Amino acid sequence: MTMLGPNLVMYEEEFDRINSVLGRLWMDANAKIVFLVDKNGQQIAAKGDLEKVDATSLASLTAGNVAATDGLARLIGEKEFSILFHEGERDNIHISIVAQRLILVVIFDERSSLGLVRLRVRKAAAEVEEVLNQMVSKAAEQGEAPVSPFAEITDEDIDALFTE
């Protein structure tokens, strides 16, 4: 079972908390970009020099990367590789799995170091997990999922999307 049921729903409060965790990580780790994606490649939140990157592609490729690495792990009998690190000439990418379903990505250059990033990521990951747990218990309390904003969608609404 996935922790949040089939659909992950995030509200303002959790979104704000996640954003502030990422903001702190971004500063403390001296990172260029910090972002959080789910394992399906959907970007959840991000912080940093985002104008310079294609965040959507970054999210999707990160998820693909993690999925492939997960596959590798299982092949050799590991549950997962919880940390991936890619070292470049200028920039490096540190990827870690949070609570088995989210991916925390930190992009940094020589102004930071792998040791510092690892240290700060550990703290941030614990905080993100806490927010996630809060979302789970909230969802359990509320029982029913909130009414979808699409509950009353019509064929016309959908057709309108496809007219250029």
Partner 1 sequence: MSFINYASREINCKIVYYGPGLGGKTTNLQYIYERTNPQNKGQLISLATETDRTLFFDFLPLDLGSVRGFRTRFHLYTVPGQVFYDASRKLILKGVDGVIFVADSQEARMDANLESLDNLKHNLRENGFDLAALPYAAQFNKRDLPGAVAYDVMHRALNFKGEPTFEAVAPKGVGVFETLKAVAKQVLHELARK
The site for partner 1 (CB under 8 A) is made up of: 2, 6-12, 15-16, 38-42, 44, 54, 56-57, 60-61, 64, 67-68, 70-71, 145, 148-153, 155, 157-158, 160-162, 164
Residue 100 neighbours by CB distance under 10 Å: 14
Taking the least distance from each CB to partner 1, the nearer of 84 and 116 is 84
Taking the least distance from each CB to partner 1, the nearer of 64 and 114 is 64
* CA dist., res. 131 & res. 127, Å (int): 6
**Alpha-carbon Rg of the chain, whole angstroms?**
18
Minimum Å gap between C-beta 2 and partner 1 is 8
Taking the least distance from each CB to partner 1, the nearer of 8 and 116 is 8
Reported for 142-151, long-range contacts at CB under 8 A and 24+ positions apart, including other chains, are: 145/5, 145/7, 145/9, 146/9
